[in-house]
Each structure stands twice: as C-alpha cells, then as structure tokens.
Amino acid sequence: MKNKYILLVLVLLTTATACKKSYIDLAPEDSLSPSTFYQTDDQLQQAAIAAYVPLRDLLINDYHTSEMRSDNTHYLPNPVNRGTATVYRENVSDWNNDANNDYVNAVYYHCYTSISRANIVIGRIPNAAKATDAGKARADGQAKFLRAWNYFKLVRLFGAVPLYLTEVSKAEDAFKDRSKVEEVYAQIIADAKDAITELKAPAKFPQTGEATKGSATMLLADVYVTLKRYADAETLLATLPAMGYGLNANYADAFLPTNKNSKESLFEVQYLEGTAAGSQPNTFVFQFLPKTTTTVLITGAVASNTTGSGWNIPSFDILKTYEPNDKRLEASIGIAEGTFDASFIMKITAVKSPVNYVTPANLQSTPYIKKFVHGPYASATNSGENWPIYRYSEALLLLAEAQNEQGKSPLTALNAVRQRAGLPASTETNQGTLRSIILHERRVELAFENKRFNDLQRSTDGLTIMQAYAAKAKTTYTNLENNAFDIQAYKFLFPIPLPERNLNPGMSQNPGYSF
Amino acid sequence: MRISILSFTILLTAGLLSVSASGVNGQALNKQVDISFSRQTLDKAIKQLEKTANTPFAYDAVYLGLNQKTIGPATFSQQPLAAVLGRLLSGTGITFKEASGNILLNKSQQQGRLYGKVTDENGDPLPGASVRVAGSTAGALADANGNYTLNLAEGTYAIQASYVGYQIQEFKDILISADKPHQLNITFAGTSLLKEVTVSYGKQRTREVTGAVTEIKTLPMQDMPVMQFGQQLQGKAAGVSVTQSSGQPGRGVSFRIRGAASLATDYQPLFVIDGLPITGSINNINPEEIETVTVLKDASATALYGSRAANGVVLLTTRHAKPGDPKIEFDMNLGVQKIPRGSVPKVMNGEEWAQFMNEKFTDAKTYENPATTVPDIYQNPSQYGEGTNWFNLLTRSAPIQRYNLNILSAREKSSSAVIFGYESQDGVVINTNSKLFSLRINNDVSVGNHNQLKLGFNLAPSYRMDHNNRLTSDGVGGFYERIFEASPINSPYNADGTLATGAYSTGMTTYVNPLALLTKSQDDYITTRILGNGYLSCDFLPGLSGKLNVGVDKGAETRNQFSPSIALSTSSAAPVASTGLSSSVDNFSYTAEGYLNYEKTFLKDHHLTALAGYSAQRFESKSNSVNGTGFPSDDIPYLSAATVISAGTSGTTQYSLLSAIGRINYDYKGRYLLQGALRSDGSSRFGADRKYGYFPSVSAGWVVSDESFMKDFSKIDLLKIRASYGITGNNSFGNFTAIPTLSNYNYILNGVLVQGQTIGSLGNTELAWERNRQFDLGVELAILKNRITFNYDYYHKVSDGLIQARPIPRASGFVNIQYNIGQFEFWGHEFTLNTVNTTGRVGWTTNLNVAVERNLILNLVDPGYLRRNNTVTSDYYRNQVGHHLGEFYGFVNLRLYKDAADLASSAKYKSTGLSDNGSSDIGTLKMKDLNGDGIIDDVNDRTFIGDPTPTFTYGITNNFTYRNFDLSVTMSGQVGGKLLAAAKWAYLTNLDGSRVPLEAAADRWRSEANPGSGVYPRTKTGTTAIGRSVNTQWVESGTYLTAKNISLGYNFKLKNALLLKNLRVYGSVQQAFILTGYTGGSNPEIALSGQDAINGIGVDENAYPVPRTFSFGINATFK
C-alpha cells in the first residue's frame, strides 16, 4: 500500500521539478545579445564597421542611377532576355523607369540600411559604460560621416526623404513621413560637422580605409557646393592639403590596387579579392564588361561573363568628349573587338585603345570601362578593386568651382587636374566659360565614378545636355523601348519606391510620377 | 489483491453453492447458521465457522494453503452451512462434503472444460480475444481461428470476454462440470460505436466523444506502394487534405486540416507518435509501423495540445502485439513507377525548333531590321528530325520496393512487437532515389494480478539515404524546367563521347546540359533518427491511475553535396568552378509528461473522469556547414579535394515548452456528455512579455437516441449531437524570433578582414502564439444495425494574431518585424457516409467523404495585401483582405491585337500616350485596360482572376470481397477551384527564342493574313514579355477525379500448411488515373509549396510529376 503512494509522490515530484520558469527562458547561444553589446571601444568600432557594409550593396546598384542615367554610359542590347532584371536596369538608363524599379529602389534601401546602423551606434554610445572618450569619438565620427553621406545621396536622388535619426526597435518607429529637403540638408551638415570634429586626419598613407577628418571635410564641402555655399566650401577645401592629401603622379595610378587608400583618396569603399571564407571581392566591375565567354583578354582570367554583364557601357558621347592627348581616355576606357553572336554574346578577339579607334569592317566592337579592371585575377569575376567615393582631384575641382562661382580665378586648382592628364593649362577668365570647362573636367576626370548624374542635376545646363544626348541616343542605340529617352525635368529626381509608399500610403510621390 | 477478493467472492457465490450442494445430503450441511466474518485468513474463517456451527471439520490446513487465502468481510443470517461454505470456498479449488457428520475439506480433483469460438458481427474469428474468469487471472486467448479452451475446476463462474475495440462482455452462471465440456461461443456484434478511439492523452469510447475526431485504421491500406504514410490517407477523411504535389521519391506529401493556413508559421498539423509530439519531419516513419491514425480536428479534441494545436493534431499509434499466438509476418511489395504521358508537356522537337527560330529571324527581317539574317544552323530545319529528346533521356520507369518483417508475440503479461522494414524508391527522373531502413521495437509488460502496474518501452531507429531527391526539381531553375528548355538540336554529348557543356543553340539563353546536371550532381542526405519512449502507469486506487511518459527524439542528418563544373557551366570556354558542401544537423528533444486520471461513478448514473498533468519538452539542434571550391577535377566529390574552403558556419538553436493540462469529462447515463479542458503553455518562443498562453475548450454531446421518445425509431441505432468551442494556438514561428539578434557584417580595413557586428533583425517582446478560435457542431447517425453511419460537422474558426513578417518601410534599415497581426476566417461542412452495402458472399462497403471549405482574409498589415514578389512576371497571386487565400492576380486577356484598327482603338502595354504603341503591336497579346486610362501598366491593370479554393473536395473508398478475393478502390478529387498553368505560359510559351516552346506555339501570329490559332502572339522583339505576366489565359478549372489506389488481393486459406497460416497476394495501382480538363500538366494537386495557401496553391510551375505505380505484393503470416 505504501509503495503506491510513494509512486504517486514520485510522479508528482518528477513533473513538478520541471516547473521552473527558467526552463522557458532561453536565449540564442550562437549570437550576442544587443543588451550586453555596445559597451567597449572595440564593440563600438565593430558596430560602426557594420555601417560601412551596405555601401557595397549600394554600389552594385548605384551605377545605374548615378552613371547610366547620364550621358556617360548606356548598356549593350539584350533582346533575348527580357526578364525584369534586364528591363528594370535598362529603364533607369533610358529614363523610362517607374517607382517599381528594383535597382532604383535598392539604392534607396541600402542607403537607409547604412543610416540605420549608424543610428544604432550614435544612439548607444552614451550608454557605453566601458568605452573611452576617444573610442566614442572615433565610432560616433564614422557613424555620423556615413549617415551624412547616405542622406546626401538620398536627398539628391530622391529629394525630400524621411529622416530617421534614432534606432528603430518597434514597428511604430519605422513609419516616418518625408522631411523637407532643407531639414535633410541641415542634418547632413550637422552630422558632417560633428564628424570633422571627432575624426582624425589620416595618420599615414596609405590609410586604413576608415572614414577620416578628410573624408568628412570633403563631404561637407561637396554639400556646400551643391547648396551653392561656395565660400564655406572653399574654406573647408583649403584645409585638406595640410592633412597630407595630394594627387598621384598619373591619373591611372589613382585606381591601381597597389595604390589603395593613397594620398589621393579621401574615401573609398574597400574590397579584398578571393573566394575563401572572409574575402570581400568586388564583383560588379565585371558587370561593366560585354557579355562574353572570352574574358581572358580583358581580365586575364577565364570567366563566363555571359549573364549579368553588358551594363555601364561608355556612350558614344563620352568617347568623343575627351580632348586630344587626354591620357584619361585610354586610362578609363578600352575597346573590345570581335563578333557578337545571335544571343548577343561577344567573342572578343582583341582589346584595343579607344584613341582614334575605328572598328574594322568585318568585325564589331564595344567600349568598356577599363579604369577599374586590373587583371590578371586569380578567379573569374572576383577582384579586389576598391571603389573611389572621393578623390583629391575632385576636391580640386570643387575648389575650382567654388572659386569660380565667387568670381575668383579657379585656374590653379583646375590646371593641377588638367596638367596631370597631359593637357595644356587653361588660361580662361570668363566665368561662364569656366563653369562649362569645370563641368566638363569633372565629367572626364570623374568618369564612371557615379558623379555625372548629380553634376547634371545641379547644372543649369543639365536638362539641355541630356535632351541633346537623348536625341542622338534614340537614333544610335537599337532595341530601345518606344518611350525610352523621354527626358523631362521631373525625372532628375527618382520616384520614391512604390513598396515604401504602399506600406506608408501617406507618403507623397515626387511630381510627375503617376504612382 | 485483497480489495477485490470480496467482489470476486460475491460474483461466484450462487453458482458454486448449488454445485457443491448437489453432491451432499447430510444433516450438518443443512444446519442454519448466523455468522459474520471480518477480513481474515480462510484458515481463521473455517475455524470460526467450525465453532459457530458446532460441527467437526476435517482438513489439512497446510495442504489446502488456507493461511495463504484471505476472505473479505461477510455476514450470513440463517443460512445453511453449505451456503456459507460455498461462499467461503468459491474459486479456491477446495471442495467440501459431509461424511459421518464431519465436514471434509479437500482439493477439487475434478476439472471441467470451457470452450468456444470468438467472432465478430460478420462471423469472422477474432484471434487474440481474451476469455477469462471474472476478476481472476485464469483465462485464455482465442487462437488464429478464434477458438479458445479454458480448463477450470468444477464450479459456476462469471466469464468475461474482451477484445480491443469492443465493449467487454460478461456471461454469468456458467456451469463447469467434469461430465461434459461447456461450449460458449462469443460474438462481439454491432458494437462498433462502443469501440474506443485514441484521443489526446488517452482513449475514449466513440459514442462519448464530444469533439470532431476521425480515426483511420491503416492496416487495410498496406497494399499501397508508397513510402510515406500520408499517401495512404489521401481521400480517407473529410476535412483532412493530403496531397502530393511533387513526385520526388519519398517526398512531396503535405497535410492540411480544415483548410489551415498561417502566414509566417507552419500550416502542418502537430504529429504525435504514441503520445509524444514530434518536432520536424515525419518522413522517416515506416507506414507499416502505424496501426491507427487519429485526426483531431476541432478545438475540443486538440485543446490539450495548446499552443501547437491550431492546425489540428494527428495522433499516430504504432503497432503493438495483440494477445494471440506468436507470429511472424512477412510483407513484400515490388512496383514500377512511370510518368503518365498525359502530364508531359509536348515541346518542339529538333526540326520544329529550328523551323521556329528560322521563322523568328525571318519575321525580324520582315518587320524589324532588314539586315537580319537567319543563322546558318536554322537554315535547314528538316536536317534535325526529332533531334534530342531530353525528356526520354532524363526520365525512366523506376522500381519501388518494400519489405517488412514483423515479429509479434503477446503473453498474458507482456507483449512485444518488432517491425523491421526496408524501402527503396528510385525516382522517375534519372539518378534520384531514396532508401529507408527502419526498425521498431515495442515492448509492454504488466505487473500485478490486475495489471495495476504497466511498463512499456518503445524504440524506433531509422536510417534514410536520399540521393539527389532534394535537388531543386520544381519551380524556376529546377531541373524539371531544365529538361524542357534545352535545345533539341544539341546533342548531350561531344563527338568524343564526353558530356557537352551547355545545351543551347544560337539565340537562346545559355543553359547547362541537363544530362550533365542530373548525372553528375551529387546531393546526398543521410538521416538517422531514433524515436524512443518509456512509460510507467499505475492504478493507485480504484478509479485513480497515474502515468509517466518520457520520450526522446534523436535525429541527425548529414549532407554531402557536390556540383561539378560540367553541371554548372554553360560554356567550355569559361567553365564555372565546381562547388561542394558538407553539412550536418543534430537534433535532440525530449518530452517528459506525468498525469493522473481519476474515474468515478456516483449516484449510479453520474460518471466523471478527470485528468491533470504536467509536461515539459525541450528541443535542441546543432548544425554546421562547410562550403568548398577549387576542385582540381570532378573525380572526388568531397571537400578533401577542394583547394579552397570558401565558407563555414556552425550554430545551435533550442526551444522549450512547459505545460500543465487538465480535463474533466462528465456524463449522465452516457446520454448527456460534457467536457472541459485547459492547457497552459509556457514557451521559450514567446516574447518576454507574453510567456504563458492558456488554451481552454468546452464541448457537450447529447445522445438523442438514448431518449425514451426515440424508442419508436427502432431503425436508429445512434443519433448524437455535439458541439464544441475552444481556443488553440500556433507557435511554430522560429525559436528566437522574439529576440533581436546581432549578426556579423564584416568589412575590410588595412587590407584585411575586420569584424563588424550589429543588430540584424528586430525582435518583438510582445510576440505571441497565433490564436485560433473554433466552433464545431456535429451530428452522428447510425441506422440499420450500424450498416449506415453518417457524420456531419460544421465548423467555423477565426485565426487571429497571425504572425506576419510585417513589412516595414525599408528606410528603417529593416525589412520586416515579426508581428501578431493578420486575421483569417475559415468555415466549412464535412460529411462522412459509411455504408455496408452488402454482406455475405459479396461484401461491399463504401466510405464517402465530402468537405466544403471556405476561407476569407479578414485582416492583414498595410497595405492589406501580400503579393508574391515585386516582379510582375511571377507575381502569381495576392493575399488580400476581403479575398480568399491565394487568389490569382493578373491581367485580363483579350487575345491578340487583330489589325491596325484594333491596335489604334485599344489600350497598349506601357504606352506613354494614346499615340504611342508602347510594347504592343498588331499580333501581340492584348490585355484589358481596367482603369480606362488608355494604357496597360503593371500596377493599375491587374486584378483578381481566379480563386484556387475548390467548391468541395471528396474521397470515395469502395471495398469489395468475394470468396477469397478482395478489391479496394480509393478515389479522391475536387470540384471547382482554379489552377494557374504558370509553367505552360511563363516558360513553355516564351516566344523570345530564348528557350524551347510548346509544339502548339508553332501556330502563332505571323502576319495579319496568317494570325495562327489566335492564342500565341508574334515574336517581335520587345513585345513578348507581357505573355509571361499572369493573365486570364493561364487560369483553368481545377476540377478533377483521381483514382489514388486500386488493389486486388487474393487470400489463400491455408489449413495448417506447415507454419504458413495466411498468405495473401495482391496487385495494386497507385495514382491509377486522373480525370481532369487541365492542360498544363496532369497533376491538379500541384502547388508551389505543398498546401501552404500563403505560398501559392494551385500554381503549376514546372513540377516533378507524380508517377503512376504498378505493384505486386505478398503478405505471409507464419505461426
């Protein structure tokens, strides 16, 4: 009899011992918890580093919106693949995209991903109990630089955008309406100023690749020029030489893998070639090559580059825009010569210089962007090419522009750039002519660096230039959709992504777009 | 046990008395006595009686073992001594007689015999039925022919007979004498409604069940040549939809109960094997191991599974040995699978393809660019003839085989079942197969003369080897698509006999050689799983019992994958690097449950049972994965040959669940039934602010046929009305979804990798289970001695707090947040009719079930709909508030633009104004301008164009027996509902020349004078994309009828032929035929993702066809 009660008690005990609340309080063991992270200098730096990473995703898309949208580049026709991945890309180049374009929208998204991660760093720094003041300044400065840079890209491409300045932790935090353009710029300026204060000038060259006081200074100067605050820009730009920046001897040197983060570099996005775990290769510069099975002549490596390439192809217009003897033409552009098959895949038989190039009668050819390709690569479509965001030559051209707009002579800065390219010094004194010269100089000096569309946006001649280019493009390029190259002023702003507006219906669309 | 001696004694009294008395006439035995016994030994009682009756007794107390026997309290008033003695000695085997005034006690030497046959209502023997003396251990089991023999000492007995599934029968006053054997034939008849069904945490009599429960015995379905038990359940139960949407060997079967659907979580029911809830796949279960499947559908039936019950619960009871002689069963099934020809798209052959391309280039020259030339290889189409038939090359008739060896034995106190199985299925697509080795050992032991203590121990290891059957076969980029897009004018081989790289001809998109892809790819999974549980149950006190059940589920899976260069490359000039992957997952979970059951009848007609228990479950998984590349050759498919290890990860995850359960059942006279149940679940998955959930249910039943006013309706055996309401939950939303996590975002500084780390996904502290509130009303009717039974259920359920990856503006830096937000409504009617149509020489029974299921989306996050993706070409369906699940979304097709006037007066695709033709032209597809703005665009001119939900689904099973033959035909189907022929139009009607189209597309628009069939548009560059956007042309009727299985068997009645007692041979056809008007393929059960309504039902996108299987089998029983 007793035994039974013992059993009964046993049953109850066994079950009751399991009744502990801690039994159901589990946390992931294979990742860290946000509540205990963000405490030390090292952790803050790691969090700041995470905010750089979306730049890589941005760059895979931004060449559509900032370069192919301009008169600098187009694409090779691809009539056998009319999938949306093809059509959407073409639409950006052809100025007939709508708000549902994945490539335009990706630019918007990736800028904000970087901003979100910057916001986390900025918001958590005051509570980082174990961090030093120096560590906090370093992380805060980088985060604010990245936040400012991304908002600057957003405000130029999309106009008034929502301002997210704090960490999002609940769904309610995620819904914001568009802020005024002036408010966005005010925030950019405030962040860039903080970054200039908090960050240090490069300790040595080559630099580490982190954002520096120089990066932030250049960014703010760029913002000021865009806002026509020329005097402010000039003051800032004048501080750069003291930080050690200068031009490399040759134009092509600026892009050499051996010259990464050189004294000419104010900020660049970092890549590391390789296929092993942990490598961070640049794959998108290969998208700028023709679709071909014979890449070896260009990249030095055997690669099947038949899908996903044929984008960002130098336009007929840019090929003609270089002045005679401009070394930058040959440094920037190559010509692939060979034959296209019926699937528009090129068999490349030779790679030629674009200088005075004429396609032989029995062959076909296409230009391609050469300045970011430095083979041979060990593996196909995998490079370590860094991507320039700000170079010192742009600082010089911004300085020239700021000086010219204030009625000062821009020639010292302008000629520094021209002479390195092997061109004669300009002696022009007319402000209007100089304005055109500087715009043109930016076009060739910064070709394919995602600057041209922004330059056309802020230039009073932008609309005329694009309309003239479009007229020629419509007759030059084949396989265009009927509504391609319908250049209108409103299209200098991209539409706010439709999926964002679907989620937040109160958000307005930029004028001119039907949805 | 002492407690029961009294009742035992009372039971046997009357009879034994008369027997004993018949042999004696003495004075002493007739002496009237007044005596009262307390609980004491028989020895003392005899001494007390001797004294009270004042009569000398003669006996040997040691020999008779009187001290070892005990009696309960009893009182006799003015009873003859014989009666008193009869009572005291009944069942003891001790006889008494009077000799010379003395009472002599001695052991009975006379044995009698009880024998007979135990049968069911049809007269079929019930081997293993138990026949025993009530309350004692003396008993016997019926043999294979239902015969039993029981040797008993002379006397009168109460005999009890029992058989699983029937009510216990009792026969009183059975006289056993030595003179002649007593024959007692026992029939268990017409009591099918009294049988028990497995319910959550126990068993219940069918007629007392107040929830919607369907039990399916799988034993009669063993003829089906299938590897997954789900296939056996197709069409068997109303409201339980089991479909096979892909023919991959050993895979592709999904369950959906009462239209269950959920957004971010699973829609599959909870599977419970022998009381233990299973996490993960049930693919490794050998169908032979399962004896019954009980499907719990409404909230009252499932509520005890709380936060996991919202999608219904499937209880699997494995096979245990039944009382009966030891036996060995051997089953074998050999079959061959073939792809039904009707399900294969007819694409162009070599000549037709070359002709098509020739015309495409010719048309381009005519209409677009006069400089266009026809490439040389398309100049003379006739040279190619049939070309390469990739389909024939890559598919085959494939064997399937299954062997089972079952060793079953059961004794009085123990039973043991050992089930060994081997199954092997080759895929109908070459180089794919699946093999399963399984073993199950079920042991049960009872202790105590009333089996008060039971112990059980079950162990089921299994080992599955999957070869290439999980390669992506369906959908975009799956190999089934590759088979059809390869160019028929290309050879799979180079001139030297090696595999060609790529299989495309001029103008096409570059495709890999599908023969290389299928023959050279390796993707092997090895899955080991051990399910084990042990239980201990004990009857503590009358009515009170307890059970402890501890189970473990241990699983491990390793994967070795290798994609050699040839399987990935489209050009030999630029081969793609080979890649390899090695990964493993190790899962462990345990469940420990303890519960008490109390049963009490009070005031005669009030019956109460109560259950209270506690359960703890914990799951843990560890996994790792390593990727490699840089293989110098394709010879060694393991990472040891890789020169570069390109990625590696490892991780772990857990969940735990802590629950309390309680249930009370009350009935009055078994006529008015009430049940209330409650489960509380604490779960590690729930957000910090919502750790515990409570899941109550109530139900009631009324057995109307027991009422006196029903007496006049003598044909009605049972009429029961029941209703239930309850709340259940769905917690299958990921283990740490509620908690924000940090992720690595590494970057390069100084030319080396540096670690970056920040929040990668948002948490939600308020994240809770999805809530499902369900009402059910049921009617059960049995008439004509249970020959016709009819069940009807109406249900209405609302699922709310559906977890949705709520999209948030990406400007937040995040894509979504897991959120309890959506709301769905489901309702439906279920009808089940079972009839015994004929009995006797030709036996015929029918099961017909019909389910009407409806759903409505009541609420979703902004913008109130979920589209499949942003790409218009594969945006097949939209889940939108106010609509049904998975409604197709697209353009309304108006055929082709006929001529210039038609083009001018119609809206055009992507035109920028009325004068611009956009992407349209004469002979291109014309869509309806829904918003009337004169322009066809992707946003404003698409609408809902079809609902995949059927009007109703049905299943019919007919079983026939004639002499030794049996025939079973299982059919299922649906009426109404739409299918979307996506593969046919998005891929096989691609007129870009980028892939091979259907033969029918040859008859397309060429010119106004030659517009073709009017279905297929022209090939003009830049106009064909809209043909690949969903439109009404794609929508077809989903009505179908399939014969899931037809099997014909013959039983050899073997009379004592050596050891072989039973031999049955049968032939069977699985997926015998399909009647459907669907033109996109022949499997109308198709879907993008099983039956997941959220991820596309009724969408046919290049699915691996379900084969037809012819098989032959043998069941042999040895004793």
CB nearest to A276's CB, from B644, B871, B993: B644
Q: Which two tokens stand for residue A294?
A: 């014979």
Which pLDDT belongs to residue B24?
43
Using the predicted structure, report yes or no on whether residue B222 has a pLDDT greater than 80. Answer: no
| Cβ atoms of B464 and B435 closer than 8 Å | yes
Which pLDDT belongs to residue B816?
86
Angle subtended at Cα A360 by Cα A358 and Cα A364, rounded to the nearest 5 degrees:
95
Q: How far apart are CA B809 and CA A513, in angstroms?
A: 20
**What's the rounded mean pLDDT across residues B497-524?**
92
Phi/psi of residue A158, nearest 5 degrees: -120, -5
Using the predicted structure, report yes or no on whether residue B18 has a pLDDT greater than 60. Answer: no
Assign B23 a pLDDT band (cuts: 50, 70, 90): very low
Residue B1003: strand, helix, or coil? coil
Which of the 8 DSSP states describes residue B81? H
Which pLDDT belongs to residue B992?
87
Name the H helices within B952-1092. 982
Q: Which two tokens stand for residue B275?
A: 């009381």
Nearest CA in chain A to B651: A30
**What's the rounded mean pLDDT across residues B369-388?**
92
Q: Whose CA is closest to B931, among B919, B942, B922, B940?
A: B940
pLDDT tens figures, B314-359:
999 998 887 666 889 999 999 999 998 877 889 999 999 999 999 9
Contacts of residue A228, defined as CB under 8 A and 6 or more positions apart, other chains included, come to: A405
A8 vs B944, higher pLDDT:
B944
Q: Does A483 sit within 8 Å of B912, measured CB to CB? A: yes
| Cβ atoms of B543 and B596 closer than 8 Å | no
| Cβ atoms of A319 and A355 closer than 8 Å | no
From chain A, the residues in CB contact with B597 under 8 A are: none
Average pLDDT, chain B: 86
Using the predicted structure, report yes or no on whether residue B193 has a pLDDT greater than 80. Answer: no
Which pLDDT belongs to residue A280?
87
From chain A, the residues in CB contact with B656 under 8 A are: 23-24, 26
- Which of B810, B942, B990, B1019 should be substituted to probe chain A, the one whose Cβ sees the most A Cβ atoms within 10 Å? B810
- Which of A7, A15, A270 should be substituted to probe chain B, the one whose Cβ sees the most B Cβ atoms within 10 Å? A15
| Cβ atoms of B875 and B902 closer than 8 Å | no
Q: Does B682 sit within 8 Å of A116, measured CB to CB? A: no
Which pLDDT belongs to residue A229?
97
Q: How far apart are CA A264 and CA A207, in angstroms?
A: 10
Which pLDDT belongs to residue A151?
98
Indicate the burial class of B394 (C-beta count within 10 angstroms; 0-12, 13-18, 19 or more).
Answer: buried
One-character DSSP codes across B765-788: TT---EEEEEEEEEEEEEETTTTE
- Which of A2, A304, A478, A504 should be substituted to probe chain B, the one whose Cβ sees the most B Cβ atoms within 10 Å? A304
Assign B1043 a pLDDT band (cuts: 50, 70, 90): very high
Which pLDDT belongs to residue B914?
59
Nearest CA in chain B to A275: B646
Cis bond upstream, residue A376 (ω within 30): yes
pLDDT tens figures, A173-219:
899 999 999 999 999 999 999 999 999 999 999 999 999 999 999 99
- Which of A17, A20, A24 should be substituted to probe chain B, the one whose Cβ sees the most B Cβ atoms within 10 Å? A24
Which pLDDT belongs to residue B107?
74
Strand pairing class (B70-71; B57-58): unpaired
Which pLDDT belongs to residue B12?
38
Using the predicted structure, report yes or no on whether residue A443 has a pLDDT greater than 90. Answer: yes
Angle subtended at Cα B281 by Cα B826 and Cα B686, rounded to the nearest 5 degrees:
60
From chain A, the residues in CB contact with B571 under 8 A are: 293, 304, 306
Q: How far apart are CA A349 and CA A337, in angstroms?
A: 6
Across B686-716, b (16+ Cβ under 10 Å) vs e yields: bbeebbbbebbbbbbbbbbbbeeeeeeeeee
Q: Does A33 sit within 8 Å of B570, measured CB to CB? A: no
Query: Hey, what amino acid is at B158?
Result: A
Q: How far apart are CA B369 and CA B363, in angstroms?
A: 9
Q: Does A164 sit within 8 Å of B862, measured CB to CB? A: no
CB nearest to A515's CB, from B507, B650, B939: B939
pLDDT tens figures, A450-487:
999 999 999 999 999 999 999 999 999 988 988 899 99
Contacts of residue A448, defined as CB under 8 A and 6 or more positions apart, other chains included, come to: A63, A67, A72, A73, A288, A312, A314, A332, A369, A371, A372
Task: Give the range among A262-266, B38-42, B983-987 with minimum mean pLDDT.
Answer: B38-42
Which pLDDT belongs to residue B827?
96
Which pLDDT belongs to residue B655?
92
Q: Does B808 sit within 8 Å of A342, measured CB to CB? A: no
Contacts of residue A229, defined as CB under 8 A and 6 or more positions apart, other chains included, come to: none
Using the predicted structure, report yes or no on whether residue B518 has a pLDDT greater than 60. Answer: yes
Q: Does B574 sit within 8 Å of A380, measured CB to CB? A: yes
Using the predicted structure, report yes or no on whether residue B3 has a pLDDT greater than 50. Answer: no
Strand pairing class (B324-338; B313-318): unpaired
Assign B20 a pLDDT band (cuts: 50, 70, 90): very low
Cis bond upstream, residue A206 (ω within 30): yes
Using the predicted structure, report yes or no on whether residue B408 has a pLDDT greater than 60. Answer: yes
Q: Does A81 sit within 8 Å of B596, measured CB to CB? A: no
Nearest CA in chain A to B767: A170
Which of the 8 DSSP states describes residue A325? T
Assign B614 a pLDDT band (cuts: 50, 70, 90): very high
Q: Does A84 sit within 8 Å of B807, measured CB to CB? A: no
Q: Does A12 sit within 8 Å of B540, measured CB to CB? A: no
Which pLDDT belongs to residue B1057?
63
Which helix (H) or strand (E) is B359 found in, with range?
helix B350-363
**What's the rounded mean pLDDT across residues B187-206?**
71
CB nearest to B739's CB, from A4, A27, A176: A27
**What's the rounded mean pLDDT across residues B825-835?**
95
Q: Whose CA is closest to B458, among B551, B591, B374, B587?
A: B551
Q: Does B540 sit within 8 Å of A7, measured CB to CB? A: yes
Confidence (pTM): 0.75
Q: Does A482 sit within 8 Å of B814, measured CB to CB? A: no
Q: How far apart are CA B83 and CA B22, in angstroms?
A: 12
Average pLDDT, chain A: 92
Strand pairing class (B196-199; B453-467): unpaired
pLDDT tens figures, B1064-1079:
999 999 989 999 989 8
Using the predicted structure, report yes or no on whether residue B4 has a pLDDT greater than 60. Answer: no
B124 vs B232, higher pLDDT:
B232
pLDDT tens figures, B239-253:
888 888 788 888 878
From chain A, the residues in CB contact with B593 under 8 A are: 15
pLDDT tens figures, A340-364:
987 788 999 999 999 999 999 999 9
CB nearest to B651's CB, from A30, A79, A279: A30
Assign B456 a pLDDT band (cuts: 50, 70, 90): very high
pLDDT tens figures, B895-929:
999 999 999 999 999 887 656 888 899 999 999 99
Which pLDDT belongs to residue B106?
78
Which pLDDT belongs to residue B164?
65
Q: Does B806 sit within 8 Å of A171, measured CB to CB? A: yes
B5 vs B746, higher pLDDT:
B746
**What's the rounded mean pLDDT across residues B652-681?**
92
Which pLDDT belongs to residue A15?
53
Using the predicted structure, report yes or no on whether residue B1045 has a pLDDT greater than 50. Answer: yes
From chain B, the residues in CB contact with A302 under 8 A are: 573-575
Q: How far apart are CA B108 and CA B19, in angstroms?
A: 12
Q: Shortest Cα distance from B475 to chain A (angstroms)?
A: 16
pLDDT tens figures, B95-116:
777 777 788 887 766 778 888 8
**What's the rounded mean pLDDT across residues B573-585?**
89
Which pLDDT belongs to residue B246?
80
- Which of B585, B750, B758, B920 should be substituted to probe chain A, the one whose Cβ sees the most A Cβ atoms within 10 Å? B758
Task: Give the range among A257-266, B559-568, B708-717 with minimum mean pLDDT.
Answer: B708-717
Using the predicted structure, report yes or no on whether residue B562 has a pLDDT greater than 90. Answer: yes
Q: Shortest Cα distance from B343 to chain A (angstroms)?
A: 27
From chain A, the residues in CB contact with B1024 under 8 A are: 82
| Cβ atoms of B927 and B892 closer than 8 Å | yes
Q: Does B540 sit within 8 Å of A342, measured CB to CB? A: no
Characterise B434 by phi-psi region: left (phi > 0), alpha (psi -120 to 50), beta (else): beta
Q: How far apart are CA B1019 and CA B355, in angstroms?
A: 13
Phi/psi of residue B513, nearest 5 degrees: -75, 115
From chain B, the residues in CB contact with A275 under 8 A are: 577, 629-630, 644, 646
Q: How far apart are CA B251 and CA B231, in angstroms?
A: 10
Using the predicted structure, report yes or no on whether residue B6 has a pLDDT greater than 80. Answer: no
**What's the rounded mean pLDDT across residues B865-879?**
81
Which pLDDT belongs to residue B2?
37
Nearest CA in chain A to B870: A100
Which pLDDT belongs to residue A99?
94
Q: How far apart are CA B104 and CA B119, in angstroms?
A: 43
pLDDT tens figures, B57-76:
888 877 777 887 778 788 88
Q: What's the ipTM?
A: 0.93
Contacts of residue B783, defined as CB under 8 A and 6 or more positions apart, other chains included, come to: B715, B716, B717, B789
B646 vs A402, higher pLDDT:
A402
